[in-house]
Amino acid sequence: MLCQRDAFLCSTTDVDVSVAFTRKLGAGFFGGEGFILQKLQGTGQAFLHAGGYIIERELANGEELRVDTGCLVAFEESVDYDIQMVRGIKTMLFGGEGLFYALLRGPGKIWMQTTPFSRFADKVMSAAGGGSERVQRGGNFLGGILQGE
């Protein structure tokens, strides 16, 4: 299984965690995570970091799915992964989701999240940032927690 960089939390000892590099230049330059993915191999259990509701989907051979790059958590190695630019000037300007999406082509399983942690953190920080000094201190403290400080 391949997962986004920093998605791995923990696993049993029979799971090997290593670095994998994207095979396509588009994914490397525009995927938001660069060329690096995490590769999990083995027969044990692994836990990944994701937010919101987790959607598992089995793609049939040749089936394609376009996914917001921030919502993609992991996918099996058999899935072809690339990054594509959103088409249409109106979509680019007013779509609200950015200029790129992940194009996944089966066969294989993929896992998606409904609430990427970075977007959740942005919402919390923007909600906490406009109030009193007490709220602002709370926002700064929360920011420290979110960044692992």
Per-residue pLDDT tens over the stretch 36-54: 789 999 999 999 988 889 9
d(C-alpha 137, C-alpha 140), whole Å: 5
DSSP string, 63-79: -EEEEEGGGEEEE-TTS
pLDDT digits (tens, 9 = 90+) for 7-43: 899 999 999 999 987 655 554 455 444 457 899 999 9
The Cα–Cα gap between 79 and 96 comes to: 27
More confident residue, 48 or 96: 48
Q: How far apart are CA 31 and CA 90, in angstroms?
A: 21
Contact between residue 72 and residue 55 where contact means Cβ atoms under 8 Å apart: no
